[in-house]
Structure 1
Amino acid sequence: MAGDWKFEVPTTGTKHLPPDARYMEALSSQGYGFEVAIADLVDNSIDAGAKDVVIHFLRDGDQLVSLLIIDDGGGMTEEDLDIAMTVGGRRNYDAQALGMFGTGLKSASLSHASAVTVVSKTKRSRPAGRRWLMERATADFQCDIVEPNYAQLLMDRYAGCPITWSGTVIRWDGVKNFPQTGGGGQTDRYLHRTINKLGFHLGLYFHRFLTRDDFNITIAVEDVRTGIEYMNFGVVSLDPFAYPVSGHPDYPRAFVAEVPSIGSVGFDAHIWPSKSNLDEYKAVGSVIERQGFYFYRHNRLVQAGGWNNFRQPDQHLALARIAVDLPDNSRDVFRLSVKKEGVEMSPEVVAALEDARDHNGRLFTQYLNDGESTYREARKTSGTVRKPVIAPGKGIDAAVRETLEEELPILPGEEPIAIRWQSLVNSIFFDLDRENRTIYLNQYYRAAILGGRAGTLNDAPMVKSLMYLLLHQIFEKEYSGPREKDNLQLWQAVLVSAARAELDRMADSG
């Protein structure tokens, strides 16, 4: 009834309702990626004034045992440690601090480890430590006090490299994505894959810090049994705007959007040159993912690519990137995720961008047109424009998909073409499913093509790339005419013959 509605909710008092200990499970289930979690801990090191951060993988022979993040920052007293290890505990952040919510250390660590130990010392305090053991944290919020002698031992282990007078060591044990068994080179493969991704991620998101002379991030691997440190390298800055020559002579160009609630916000628009093979261009992701806004908070990249509801991704904007330094007073306008890997942009910013201009009055929307035209011109080869194709999909290696999408215009709104292995009669090498946009390869020949290696979703990149190039046009036509059908029969015969030859060679070598 309309007359009974109250705009204010009446209350009769308050009641203390502390969180259930199982809240720790929710805290550790926020979907932190491995690289994102490590980056969150590096944020803490930077806030502590660290000049050197070391990410140290420890292994015992073939078994990975622990991961440590060590810094030479100002360190923490026991009281500081208690605050840092308290769920929701928040210190007074500096105006330029990277930390925000007071949950990163716990949630990032316990997302990937069953135990996190933090040992720290300041110039004036002795080493002290605390440990969250996941099973104890979820039971009654009991945080372990680290034995002082061990805290001193851990500090001494890294004395001089990087810790001098003060610093912090974070130790992860029971890391969930470490290989359970390290035999057969599994640990080496894991380290190669993981460290490569981690180096790219940290190099990208901390690139402004890494260009400084007084800040370094090092990734190292040590065998605790022998004491041999057989991998040690510095993370290299990957500036997503470090192109050698602009793709368009009028850029970069600074635009300003007048946002009613916070005032002027700068958008620095860039256009990359086409077909770049630089890591700075390719490190972000696919052609679609790397275009758009690059948001920075206090010089730390917090979003790499994306249009934030301003417009839809478009292959023709693959070269367009915009750097945005978030104003300090913008929390209600640019909302940063807890994991610091994405920004929610309010509708008033989207509206303001439509009228954003540079100092000459050029509209931001003109920049988008220039980005598209630069891409289209670059697609022309000797006066010939390549025809749009259906995009490659699952089963084709990501690097190959990326190259195909850069070299060929993609038909918008079309389901990609997947390539899968399936049991087929031995007289054919492949089969086509037009309705489900899938090329099926004969499972019988898989081992021979892979040379005995284990199969994966994106295996046999050479064969699958050639099959895509051979067959994608079949999916782009409503039906196959006599010429296409004859070609399919020809390709089947030749490919079956070649696959059987591979089987024969495999049998002879066995």
Structure 2
Amino acid sequence: MNDTANLRPKTREVDATPYAASLIEGHRDFGYSLETALADIIDNAITAGARTVELIADTVANEPWIALADDGSGMTEAELVEAMRLGSKNPTDEREAEDLGRFGLGLKSASFSQCRSLTVLTRQDGRTSCARWDLDRVAKRNDWSLELIDNPEVVTGHDLLAETGTVVIWEKLDRLSGGYTHDRAKRAEHMNSELSRAEHHLRLVFHRFLEGAKPRLKLSLNGRQLKPNDPMATSHAATQKDPEEVLRLRQGDVLIRCHTLPHHKRMSREEWEEIGGPEGHLKAQGLYVYREKRLIIAGGWLGLARQTELSKLCRIAVDIPNTMDAEWKIDVKKASAQLPPVVRERLKKVVERFVGTSKRTYRSRGQKLVDEARFPIWNRVQKDGQIVFRPNLEHPVFQTYAEQLPEELREGFERCLRIVGSGLPIETLHAELVGNAEAVTADETSAADLEELIYSLAVNLVENGMSTDALIDTMKNYAFLRSKWDSVEPILQKFLAEAE
């Protein structure tokens, strides 16, 4: 037997305290953007029971600053010091149901990502406390000494402090200048552009808190109240909603709700563009994961499906409790997560069924639009496993014109039509449809061309035995004519009058 088996390593202890200047600078690079940083501060306000959050930004001052003021519970000085401590919470600790925090890093890391000076003013039971982290001071001293300010009335943003509540002030906004350090006008323009993008993000992320006649939260930017942006369009009459599904797990329940958005023609242009977001509906389709009503993931299928034009109206809301943070691998920014295996398996089946139904709906709609009985101008042809679109040479308009040509010119006319078909700009069309399908539309038809089309169709139908009484209903079934019916009907009435 080896006598060394029971021996333990001899140890010594040395001081390995992190260098304050290095570590605190590292907290600036957790990947926050302005919008995710602001959202993290608002999370703290909601956790503190705030009903109102004011976002104030002075972008034109010599030294621009941003403040977020809430009317939450406020803090004592001891609580403020703890809140300013890096890593003040253990992510494994139990949380209250509405606690949106996790690591105890959000306030500091989110703020440092945008500024070099973080000041927090807070008031509770009539007593005001104030503390500041200034990264330039930390770099100079290289220690963890937090500044406590005994005359908070001189601090920027003090006038925003409610009877009870907290104000977070960002100064030395070195990462929001856009590089325009000496050009105040361009710097302000850049900052306002960033704030505009952040506004859209906040209206989306906190939409459930902002909704209703008596919203859980009122959020404003420079005095203007922000309205919710519901990505599911749940209040729209034309939105289709599947029954809710519940996945019961040891750590809590996962709620799954499938929504199919209305077609863009059933929404106003403003509604359509807002719900599509800056990147459009193709990118916005997919899963929307909420943690305690707060949006974590906005769109994308997390590997469960492909983003396609046929599924761009599909959106699935997935609600999880904060007791599942570890399983979902919620990051510090609360802006990304990963599907636990058991949830992935369930969602995979839901997505396959939901997206499959949507695609079948679109395909059946497409088949109706190219039904031969409705005289399509283009025929959809399957050839060698591919789909080809060809001009319909048997269309009444084409046939009528061909019959008016001398025999020797008819083959040339049909050749021209075939060349038009083979010259379709497929790649360009695909790019437009993928990125901005709702903006792609047919060219306008002149009054003379429309009249020629109607007469050609009407003559063909009547010659094939259709009664004049059934002609109007049949023409209405032709999608192209139905979309222009106000112009079509007078021409058709004129034809019927002449036919009598």
Q: TM-score band (shorter)? A: 0.5 to 0.7
CA shift for structure 1 position 324:
0.9
Q: Which one of 157, 165, 168 corresponds to residue 167 of structure 1?
A: 165
Q: Which residue pairs with 2:455 in the alignment?
A: none
Q: Give the corresponding residue for 1:101.
A: 103
The two structures, once aligned, show a CA RMSD in angstroms of 3.4
SS in 1 for 2:263: coil
Residue aligning to 2:25: 25
Q: How does 1:84-123 map to 2 (within 5 A)?
A: 84-90=83-89, 93-123=95-125
1:17-70 Cα deviation digits (max 9, x unpaired): 433321222211011011110110011111111111111112455x45211111
The answer to whether 1:341 aligns with 2:373 is no
1:330 is paired with a residue whose SS is helix
> 1:38-437 counterparts in 2 under 5 A?
38-60=38-60, 63=62, 65-90=64-89, 93-125=95-127, 127-138=128-139, 140-151=142-153, 156-158=158-160, 163-175=161-173, 176-178=175-177, 180=180, 185-187=185-187, 189-211=189-211, 212-213=214-215, 215-220=217-222, 232-242=223-233, 244-246=236-238, 248=240, 251-257=241-247, 262=251, 265-275=254-264, 277=269, 278=271, 279-283=273-277, 285-355=279-349, 365-376=352-363, 383=370, 389-390=426-427, 404-406=436-438
Residues of 1 paired with 2:348 and 2:243: CA distance? 16
Unmatched runs of 5 consecutive residues or more in structure 2: 3-7, 371-377, 381-388, 390-423, 442-500
Question: What secondary structure, in the 3-state scheme, does the structure 2 residue paired with 1:148 have?
Answer: coil
Give the structure with the higher percent strand: 1
1:67-86 per-position Cα deviation (integer Å, ceiling 9, x unaligned):
11111111111111111111
Structure of greater Rg: 2
Letter in 1 for 2:23: Y
Q: Which amino acid aligns with 1:318?
A: K
Q: 1:302 to 1:156 in 2, by over 3 A?
A: same
Q: In 1, are the aligned partners of 2:255 and 2:319 still within 8 Å (CA)?
A: yes
**Residue in structure 1 matched with residue 397 of structure 2 by the alignment:** none
Match of 2:468 in 1: none
Q: CA deviation at 1:313?
A: 2.9
Q: Is the 8 A contact 2:282 2:435 kept in 1?
A: no
The worse-fitting range, judged by mean Cα deviation, of 75-84 and 137-146 is 137-146
Cα displacement (A) at 1:245:
3.4
| Deviation of the 1:217 alpha carbon | 1.0
SS for the counterpart of 2:103 is coil
Secondary structure of 1:253 counterpart: coil
Structure 1 unaligned segments of length 5 or more: list them.
5-9, 221-231, 357-363, 410-510
CA distance, structure 2, for counterparts of residue 345 and residue 144 of structure 1 = 39
**What are the superposed Cα offsets for residues 232-289 of structure 1, whole Å, 9 maximum, x if unpaired?**
31111001112523455xx333234466x65753210111123354255212634343
What amino acid does structure 2 have at the position aligned with 1:270?
Answer: H
| Counterpart-to-counterpart distance in 1, 2:136 and 2:429 | 44
Determine if contact 1:45/1:53 at 8 Å carries over to the other structure.
yes
Matched, 1:35 2:32: no
| Alpha-carbon distance change, 208 to 141 in structure 1, aligned in 2, over 3 angstroms | farther
Q: How many residues align?
A: 369
Letter in 1 for 2:204: L
Q: CA deviation at 1:106?
A: 0.8
Sequence identity of aligned pairs in percent?
26
**SS of corresponding position for 1:190:** helix
Q: Which amino acid aligns with 2:45?
A: S
**Matched residues in 2 for 1:376 and 1:64: separation?**
58
Going by fraction, where is helix more abundant, 1 or 2? 2
